Structures are given as structure tokens and as C-alpha cells.
Amino acid sequence: MKVAREARSAAVVINAGSRRGAAAHELVLDKMQKAGVPISSMHHVLSGAELAATLDRVVAEGHDLVVVGGGDGTVSYAAGRVAGTDVVLGVLPLGTANDLARTLEIPNNLAEACAAIADGKVVDIDLGRANGQPFLNVASVGLSVGVTEALSPRLKRYIGPLAYGIATLRAYARHKPFRARLEFPEGDHEPIELENLLQVAVGNGRHYGGGNMVSPTAGIDDHTLDIYAIPAGPLWDHVSIARLLRDGSFVKHERVYHLTSRHVRLVTEPPLSVNLDGEIAAVTPTDFTIQRNAVHVVVPQSSNSALFDGPGGAGGPSI
């Protein structure tokens, strides 16, 4: 399949609980059908359990294109379900941050996103795993977990990405520093002991947190994980780091530890919850790995975010 309209059969799964999901049904169906995408199955889901069951069903039904509308957590779960198969994933950004769509250069406007799926190209992207659980953008412990806990659906629905700023201030005020050990099972780095930390993050994609950048060189098709740690400290240190989050240059700040690897094990004291693309879905100790070129996904023809390399990651045909 080179474009979505060449699919044998397409299913659409929309998380109606996402910020823009409830109103998306009719527009998506109309735009896709007019563009020639062979939609034969349309589903609205309201819970994680319903999402899992629905994705299992549409994959079992043999659809070779599954279009998923929702936030980053919804899309990451779907990516984990189709990873390693020939099923192609289409992405409709209906959440608050929509960082995967930003990484893949998929338009935030719903009608334009539908057109991008219909006319786009198929590429393959890496999938991060945290103790086996999938993530596409960033997995993290520390402050980001507090931010996720402070983000209410009502806050996200009514003020959108600004909700992250408010939630960050609330989480920062309540944060308790922690200790961490980074281990590298492939031997590419020596173990690192860190104390008095604000956050540790492991990035697979390029964007997170409503448009922040993992690092200036990060990409979702580079087959590596970007690992960074930010110590706790004076407020002005964190303000100076925060000013550099947008373009990823914060990783060069003297107070930030940054390195890359394909496999890292994170052990914290005390054990901490792990945020996977906005969903709290694991607990430390956690093994983070990269599943190379695991997910086939439709991106706009103009997108330079990824290529189609195949499982081996090199020499595959460009589509």
C-alpha cells in the first residue's frame, strides 16, 4: 500500500473521550469517503478497555489500514497493537498535545489531517517499550508524572495546551526529589548514579509536552533513545532550562545530563510511576528499549520525519 485509498479495507477508531473526539465522527467519515478511502468499519470508544477490545477486533477482521483518532496515549496504544504487523496506522490528532502528529508533520486541522491520510505516504517509525509497554514520544518519571496527575479532562478540554503550564506549576510545587541509577545492558555507557532529581526522561520521538523538543537531533526514525535527567535545584536554574525546552537545546545546559542509547534500565529510590505519552502505565525499575521500524504509519507527502526502511532499517524502498 502506497497511499490509503489503495487499502483493501479501512477501519476508523475514535476515542470519543479525547478533547475533540466527540464531534469528529461525521467529519471524518465524510472526508475519508469523499477522498476514496475504503472505510468499512467505524467505531467510537469511551474507555481504555473498550479501545483494546476494539483494536483487537478490527485487526482480527483483516483491515490493512486502521485510522485512530485521539490523543498521544490512544495512538501509542494502537501503535503497540499493530507493531510488527503489515497493518498501516493512520493518525487523527484529536487530543490536547498531539505531539506525535507534530513529529510526523500531520496537520492539527481535522479536515487537513483526513486529506493527509488519503493522499499521504507510508513510512515506518520506531516504537519505544517500557517493560514491554509501548510509547512513541517520551517516557518519564518525576515531575511529568505529577503534571499528568494534575491534568484534569475538564482543564484540557477547555483551555487546551495551556493546561500543561498550569499543571506543571501545580506539580512543581508538590515535587519530591528522588535518586536514580541508569544502567546500560548493551555496555555502551557505564552505569550512572544520580541524586536529588527533578525528572528523568527517555525519548523515542521528537516532540512531547505540547510542542517541546526531546533534543535538537532526536527523531522517531533514528533507532535510538534520548535519555536526559534534570536535577532538582533553585527555581532560577529550572527557569533557565525551561526557556530552552522548545527547541531541545536544554540538553546542552550544564545542569542537564543527556546521552543516547538503544537500551537503558532505570532504577529509582523510591520506586516511581512512569508516564508513557501522558498515561501512567509502568513502575520503576523499568527497562527501556527501542523496537526499530516497528510501525507502518501514513504521513503527509511533504513530511521528512521518517522513511520506509523495513525491519532491517536500511536499504528499503522509499515510498
Residues tagged active-site: 279
Cell representation of residue 132:
514491554
The Cα 102–Cα 299 span in angstroms is 11
DSSP string, 88-116: EEEEEE-SSS-HHHHHHT--SSHHHHHHH
Q: Please say whether the dihedral angle defined by the alpha carbons of residues 84, 225, 180 and 139, taken in this order, is positive or negative.
A: negative
Residue listed under C-alpha cell 530552552: 244
Closest CA to 39 of 1, 12, 3: 12
Cell representation of residue 200:
528523568
The Cα 240–Cα 265 span in angstroms is 28
The Cα 235–Cα 249 span in angstroms is 19
Q: Provide the CA 211 distance to its chain's centre, in angstroms.
A: 12
Whether 190 contacts 261, CB under 8 Å? no
Closest CA to 298 of 51, 31, 45, 68: 68
The Cα 77–Cα 135 span in angstroms is 7
The Cα 119–Cα 317 span in angstroms is 19
The Cα 145–Cα 147 span in angstroms is 5
DSSP-derived letter for residue 217 is: T
